[in-house]
A and B are shown apart, each in its own frame.
Chain A
């Protein structure tokens, strides 16, 4: 058994870079699938990683960034503002659920909250594509519908993973901040105007 473990350790040092990257990418991709089809499984909790949340947060912040030409006027959020909102929001929610007596670890909760931004990132992509068409009320209705659907998906996915770790008489208290968090992100996506 010991020689097996030693072999495993040395083999990850000696393997090619492509192998390492592909292994991490596959883990991230597997978790994306878990978020898109949320079932009550422990995979997201057991092998947590923060690559997925980082990729999603950077993508979202890049797409939400307003063009720097008219940065003097009060406009949409900058890259740093979106980044700060996502990460500090996730940290605050995690602290809140731990203070309320939940038995989930700090990074597992960050991992779940970060991965469940995936539906909203997809909504942002769709909104940007829809905004290439002509503006109007139909445009807005389509974007509103997409954002609402993806917002519900995020909430359902994160609740499926996080709800079990809370004491039963405080579930609503722990879930409400998650709702607020995704609501604010959805609002930022919905009110995004180009140029």
Chain B
């Protein structure tokens, strides 16, 4: 037993030495001139396959246990502080997206998937994809609807991208801010068991917007009924994710206030989707205009439509 203890002591010493020389080994000459040595925080846990692997693993597990209690300990002006918001793996992002698409009644999205590791990757890139999906689909659907009209000259409508970006990013950040402020205020009045941090609310809102990406692509179909059915489905899925997430947070409160909160959340969500549909997608006409059959150069348009 004493021998094992001695060995362990030696191994720790070795680990310190190898840990000291390992960063030097992995970060070779790829560094740029003004680079600060902040990469050590972002070292992947799976690096290194030698016999020192277990030693590094022990060190890392010790470190993770220590850090789990104090998650964001770096001051906010360092790079590591923001790296803690991107501490997700690919499978985790996929799991969270799946959780937002399949709301299970009784299961809380935040407790199940986020579990005190909120990330900003999902909300940011889902919003970016949604902005471009809406702008491109709107453009494409308008082109297809007005195909064959003589007086319509196709323009790419690039300004709509900036408008879409403003709307969606404002929704994904200001509404969670308002909701968080409101919940904090109610929390000071009524003792709630469940309270969410601002980042967790941003996370839920970001991931709940994912369903709108395929919805926006399907909105290209120029049928009013199809579009409204899609709105209903998307609203149902993402609205229920939001409602089921925030119901435990307001459940203890005054009945009317709790219901009003949930209704407001769903209403704002509805406003976003209906507003996007109305603004970016022209209404499909039910019948074709009679001017389309008159002129002889409609054969070109007919060839385009085929």
Contacts and interface: CB of A to CB of B under 8 A. Distances in A.
B31 A105 contact: yes
Contacts of B155: 73-76, 193
A99 B83 contact: yes
A137 to B, nearest CB: 6
Query: Chain A interface secondary structure, helix, strand, loop or mixed?
Result: helix
Nearest to A105: B32
Interface stretch (A9-17, A116-124, A146-154, A162-170): A162-170
Given A75-B156, A99-B121, A100-B86, 7 more contacts: A73-B155, A99-B86, A136-B300, A137-B304, A180-B129, A187-B132, A188-B158
Contact of A105 (B35, B85, B121): B35
B35 A173 contact: no
Interface of B: 26-27, 29-32, 35, 39, 42-44, 46, 79, 82-83, 85-86, 88-91, 93, 121, 125, 128-129, 132, 136, 139, 154-160, 300, 303-304, 306
A77 B156 contact: yes
A147 to B, nearest CB: 14
Interface of A: 45-46, 48, 73-77, 81, 96, 98-108, 135-137, 165, 167-173, 176-177, 180, 183-184, 187-188, 191-193
B39 A74 contact: no
A25 B45 CA distance: 42
Contact of B42 (A77, A103, A137): A103
A172 to B, nearest CB: 5
16 contacts: A48-B32, A73-B155, A74-B159, A99-B85, A99-B121, A100-B86, A101-B83, A103-B27, A103-B39, A105-B32, A137-B303, A167-B42, A173-B89, A173-B90, A176-B125, A184-B132
Contacts of A48: 32
Contacts of B154: 191, 193
Contact of A74 (B29, B42, B88, B158): B158
Contact of A177 (B29, B125, B157, B306): B125
A104 B30 contact: yes
A158 B4 CA distance: 50
Contact of A136 (B31, B46, B156, B303): B303
Given A101-B44, A105-B32, A191-B139, A81 B132 contact: no
B206 to A, nearest CB: 14
B32 A107 contact: yes
Contact of B29 (A46, A76, A98, A171): A46
A165 B46 CA distance: 14
Contacts of B32: 48, 105-108
Most buried by B among A77, A171, A192: A77
Most buried by B among A76, A96, A103, A193: A103
B158 A108 contact: no
Given A136-B304, A137-B304, A180 B128 contact: yes
Contacts of B139: 191
A108 B128 CA distance: 24
B132 A180 contact: yes
B86 A167 contact: no
A45 B83 contact: no
A81 B139 CA distance: 18
B30 A165 contact: yes
B304 A170 contact: no
Most buried by A among B31, B39, B121: B121
A77 B155 CA distance: 10
A173 B304 contact: no
A76 B156 contact: yes
Contacts of B79: 98
Given A169-B46, A187-B136, A193 B156 contact: yes
A74 B86 contact: no
A173 B86 CA distance: 10
A58 to B, nearest CB: 18
B44 A169 contact: yes
Most buried by A among B39, B128, B156: B156
Contacts of A180: 125, 128-129, 132
B197 to A, nearest CB: 19
Contacts of B83: 99, 101
